[in-house]
């Protein structure tokens, strides 16, 4: 059996963002939260690993919502020195023809289970020897408000700076894992160290692609590359490993890795279509189970599925948990959520009313407003079939007018519907709010436009708290969905869905109508009239999906298929 002994050194896991705990503001969303869950599992398993990221002392974005839903995006600073140890290390990287100094901080991720540690090395350019521009580079995640050159500078620091820092710190790296293309410039540093031999670089590199959305794949003009990075390696060499027209981080990573993967089975198909000719594997994401299970379900699992924290496969035994235990634990977690919403948003939500949750980055393809497609239908269901209330959360990327508009739309819809459906929007979505929501709602709604959701992990967090998902068959839901057993689908089966041939308006209409049908005919009546069946479904989400959608299983797959091959 493959184990960490098959490694000749450390796994160096590079990620632009990581969500390790709520108040360490080095994450924006799914990519970072996944990185955090991954590193937590690496520590649990005692894998020899080190994580490289950026310190971003001004965080990502603090969201303030005005009366009409307009998002004000502020800096979100965190006290680095309270959480991290300053390392006595210094390297330089070339940016705009000068040597920029990079230093580092260390945050130790210590497993409560195994006592093992995986360090996160946070890169920092905010030092006196740098000029004021260079001091800005690592201050804020994804540098909202700055230009593309700033983004490229961040990627130079992560890829090239990170690799030099690891070297300086004495790490013997066996595998460089690029979690998304942001870190792909590390391949150039490795090329230089290996006499420009691509085979030697490929031997050491693995790459994970995380999104089918075109804009999620960084591309930089050659002119910009020339200005910011200079002739770090000859342009012709870069073109060979990227592509003719620009520096494309995904191509660079794919061409210089021995292994590449997508993050769900469906995403594999989509990625292979986007990047024909590349052998892209599929390792479905997971979540770190003990981190995302609410207190009441922790007690229930402790009683009925002993050993689940160390080994979430044990959750298959959730099939024996009695109805009352499930319902009591759920209601208790739901009350915590409702109390939070009522307190923080001045709402008057009711824990006995069917509660639907929807939280994710505010961006068009996630279709947060699909539920409001037809007010009459929605009103009709609420007034004649049964009451329901809806809780939203999510930030727009600062400066993304489209995303900000989505939030205002929800506010507007909520206002128009307020006599029939209670709709609330929780300000400043972060890991704490994500936890509360995925532990406390009754139904987790996820209706992205196909096939743009690579995986989605919030529905997995919900499943570990016995909460069924209601969603379009995209990302992980293609794998985790069993109709009327682990949740419900919206719209067609994957093989019947033809997103390339279907105009977006038509897809929206079909999906919205199915969403209403499901609510009207199945979900709302079952919640109020067939509690036994409802609890059966809750139990199945835990017993069927619990054994699989966790980062321990996922990390084993990375170890066996990516790191030690």
Ligand X SMILES: *Cc1c(COP(=O)(O)O)cnc(C)c1O
Q: Which is nearer to ligand X, 355 or 447 (CB)?
A: 447
The residue among 53 and 101 lying less far from ligand X, judged by its C-beta, is 53
471 interacts with ligand X by CB under 6 A: no
- Using CB under 6 A as the binding rule, whether residue 434 contacts ligand X is answered as yes
Instruction: Kindly tell me which of 120 and 190 has the beta carbon lying closer to ligand X.
Output: 120
Q: Binding segment for ligand X among 56-64, 118-126, 272-280, 428-436 (CB under 6 A)? A: 428-436
Contact between 33 and ligand X per CB under 6 A: yes
Chain residue at closest Cβ approach to ligand X: 434
Q: Which of residues 230-259 bind ligand X (CB under 6 A)?
A: none
Q: For 289-419, where are the alpha helices, taking DSSP H only?
A: 289-292, 295-304, 323-345, 375-380, 401-416
Nearest to 225 by CA among 240, 247, 245: 247
Q: Which long-range contacts (CB under 8 A, 24 or more apart) does 18-25 make?
A: 18/51, 18/53, 18/120, 19/431, 20/107, 20/109, 20/120, 21/431, 22/430, 22/431, 22/432, 23/78, 23/83, 24/78, 24/83, 24/107, 25/56, 25/59, 25/60, 25/76, 25/77, 25/78, 25/141
CB 457, min distance to ligand X, A:
5
Shortest distance (Å) from residue 106 CB to ligand X: 24
Residue 30 engages ligand X in binding (rule: CB under 6 A): yes
Residue nearer to ligand X on the CB measure, 28 or 163:
28
Neighbouring C-beta atoms of residue 368, cutoff 10 Å: 26
* Closer CB to ligand X, 153 or 460, in the complex: 460
Burial degree of 39 (CB within 10 A; 0-12, 13-18, 19+): buried
Binding of residue 480 to ligand X (CB under 6 A): no
Angle between helices 323-345 and 531-540 (to 10 degrees): 90
Binding residue (CB under 6 A) for ligand X from 242, 447, 457, 465: 457
Q: Residue 245 burial (CB < 10 Å; 0-12/13-18/19+)?
A: exposed
Is residue 389 a contact residue for ligand X (CB under 6 A)?
A: no
Does 267 bind ligand X (CB under 6 A)? Our answer is no
Beta-strand pair 91-95/422-426: unpaired
Place of tokens 């794949």: 217
Q: Name beta bridge partners: 424.
A: 391
The smaller minimum CB distance to ligand X, of residues 150 and 360, is found at: 360
Beta carbons of 114 and 43 less than 8 angstroms apart: yes
- Candidates 233-241, 272-280, 424-432, 478-486: pick the segment binding ligand X (CB under 6 A): 424-432
Identify which range of 55-63, 159-167, 320-328, 430-438 contacts ligand X by CB under 6 A: 430-438
* Ranges within 349-368 binding ligand X (CB under 6 A): 360
Stretch that binds ligand X, among 248-256, 454-462, 538-546, 553-561 (CB under 6 A): 454-462
**Quick one: 390 or 526, whose CB is closer to ligand X?**
390
Beta strand pairing status for 259-262 and 205-208?
parallel
Query: How many CA atoms within 13 Å lie on the side-chain side of 395?
Result: 23
403 sits near ligand X (criterion: CB under 6 A) = no
Q: Does 103 bind ligand X (CB under 6 A)?
A: no
| Shortest Å distance, C-beta 349 to ligand X | 21
In the complex, least distance from residue 429 CB atom to ligand X, rounded to whole angstroms: 6
- Count of C-beta atoms within a 10 Å radius of residue 260: 22
Task: Tell the smallest beta-carbon distance from residue 285 to ligand X (Å).
Answer: 8
Binder of ligand X out of 123, 152, 431, 554 (CB under 6 A): 431
Residue 112 carries which DSSP code? T
* Number of amino acids touching ligand X (CB under 6 A): 12
Minimum Å gap between C-beta 551 and ligand X is 12
List Cβ neighbours of 409 (8 Å cut-off, separation of 6 or more). Answer: 69, 368, 369, 372
Strand 205-208 with 487-490, pairing: unpaired
Task: State which residue, 171 or 429, has the beta carbon closest to ligand X.
Answer: 429
Rounded Cα distance, 402 and 409, in Å: 11
Helices (H), 95-182: 132-136, 148-156, 162-168
Tokens standing for residue 143: 């540098």
CB atoms within 10 A of CB 156: 24
Return the range that interacts with ligand X (CB under 6 A); candidates 241-249, 416-424, 456-464, 509-517: 456-464
**Which stretch in 91-99, 184-192, 426-434, 550-558 sits in contact with ligand X by CB under 6 A?**
426-434
Q: Are 549 and 311 in contact (CB under 8 A)?
A: no
Work out whether 430 is an interface residue with ligand X (CB under 6 A).
Answer: yes
Q: How far is the CB of 430 from ligand X (least distance, A)?
A: 5
Q: Does 38 participate in binding ligand X (rule CB under 6 A)?
A: no
Taking the C-alpha atoms of residue 140 and residue 16, their distance in angstroms, rounded to an integer, is 11
Q: Does 447 bind ligand X (CB under 6 A)?
A: no
- Our CB check for ligand X shows the closer of 228 and 433 to be 433
Q: CA triplet 72, 445, 59: central angle to 5 degrees?
A: 30
User: Is the CB of 54 or the CB of 458 nearer to ligand X?
Assistant: 458
We find the least distance from the C-beta atom of residue 476 to ligand X, in angstroms, to be: 9
CB of 525 to ligand X, least distance (A): 27
Is 27 or 516 the residue whose CB approaches ligand X more closely? 27
Query: Binding to ligand X by residue 429, rule CB under 6 A?
Result: yes
DSSP state of 351: T
Per CB under 6 A, 386 contacts ligand X: no
Q: DSSP secondary-structure letter at 529?
A: H
Quick one: residue 93, left, alpha or beta (phi over 0 = left, psi -120 to 50 = alpha)?
beta
Residue 458 within binding range of ligand X, rule CB under 6 A: yes
Q: Where on the chain is the footprint of ligand X (CB under 6 A)?
A: 29-30, 33, 360, 429-431, 434, 456-458, 461
């Amino acid at each position: 059996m493959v184990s960490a002994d098959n490694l000749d050194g450390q796994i160096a896991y590079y990620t632009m963002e990581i969500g390790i705990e709520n108040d360490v503001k080095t994450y924006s969303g799914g990519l970072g939260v996944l990185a955090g869950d991954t590193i937590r599992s690496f520590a649990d398993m005692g894998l020899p690993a080190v994580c490289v990221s950026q310190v971003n002392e001004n965080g990502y974005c603090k969201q303030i919502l005005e009366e009409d839903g307009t998002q004000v995006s502020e800096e979100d600073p965190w006290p680095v020195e309270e959480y991290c140890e300053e390392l006595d290390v210094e390297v330089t990287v070339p940016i705009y023809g000068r040597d920029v100094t990079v230093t580092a901080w260390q945050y130790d991720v210590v497993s409560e289970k195994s006592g093992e540690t995986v360090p996160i090395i946070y890169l920092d350019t905010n030092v006196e020897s740098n000029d004021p521009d260079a001091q800005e580079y690592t201050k804020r995640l994804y540098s909202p408000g700055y230009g593309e050159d700033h983004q490229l500078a961040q990627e130079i620091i992560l890829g090239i700076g990170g690799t030099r820092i690891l070297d300086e710190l004495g790490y013997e790296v066996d595998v460089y894992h690029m979690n998304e293309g942001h870190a792909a410039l590390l391949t150039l540093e490795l090329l230089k160290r290996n006499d420009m031999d691509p085979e030697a670089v490929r031997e050491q590199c693995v790459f994970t692609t995380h999104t089918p959305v075109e804009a999620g794949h960084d591309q930089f003009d050659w002119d910009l590359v020339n200005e910011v990075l200079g002739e770090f390696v000859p342009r012709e060499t870069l073109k060979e490993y990227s592509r003719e027209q620009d520096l494309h981080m995904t191509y660079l990573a794919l061409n210089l890795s021995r292994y590449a993967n997508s993050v769900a089975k469906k995403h594999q198909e989509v990625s292979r279509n986007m990047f024909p000719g590349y052998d892209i594997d599929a390792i479905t994401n997971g979540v770190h189970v003990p981190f995302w299970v609410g207190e009441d379900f922790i007690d229930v699992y402790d009683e009925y599925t002993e050993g689940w924290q160390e080994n979430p496969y044990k959750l298959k035994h959730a099939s024996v948990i009695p109805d009352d235990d499930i319902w009591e634990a759920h209601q208790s977690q739901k009350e915590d959520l409702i109390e939070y919403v009522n307190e923080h948003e001045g709402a008057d939500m009711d824990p006995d009313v069917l509660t639907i949750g929807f939280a994710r980055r505010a961006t068009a393809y996630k279709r947060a407003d699909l539920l409001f497609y037809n007010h009459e239908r929605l009103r009709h269901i609420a007034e004649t079939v049964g009451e329901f209330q809806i809780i939203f959360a999510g930030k727009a990327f600062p400066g993304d007018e489209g995303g900000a508009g989505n939030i205002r739309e929800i506010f507007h819809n909520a206002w128009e519907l307020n006599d029939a459906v209670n709709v609330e929007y929780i300000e400043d979505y972060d890991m704490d709010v994500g936890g509360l929501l995925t532990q406390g709602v009754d139904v987790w709604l996820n209706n992205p436009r196909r096939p743009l959701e690579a995986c989605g992990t919030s529905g997995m967090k919900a499943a570990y708290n016995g909460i069924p998902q209601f969603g379009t068959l995209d990302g992980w839901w293609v794998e985790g969905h069993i109709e009327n057993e682990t949740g419900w689908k919206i719209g067609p089966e994957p093989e019947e869905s033809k997103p390339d041939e279907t105009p977006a308006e038509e897809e929206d209409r079909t999906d919205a109508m199915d969403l209403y049908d499901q609510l009207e005919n199945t979900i709302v009546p079952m919640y109020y009239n067939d509690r036994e069946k409802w609890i059966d479904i809750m139990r199945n989400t835990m017993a069927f999906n619990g054994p699989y959608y966790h980062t321990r299983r996922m990390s084993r797959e990375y170890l066996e298929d990516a790191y030690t091959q």
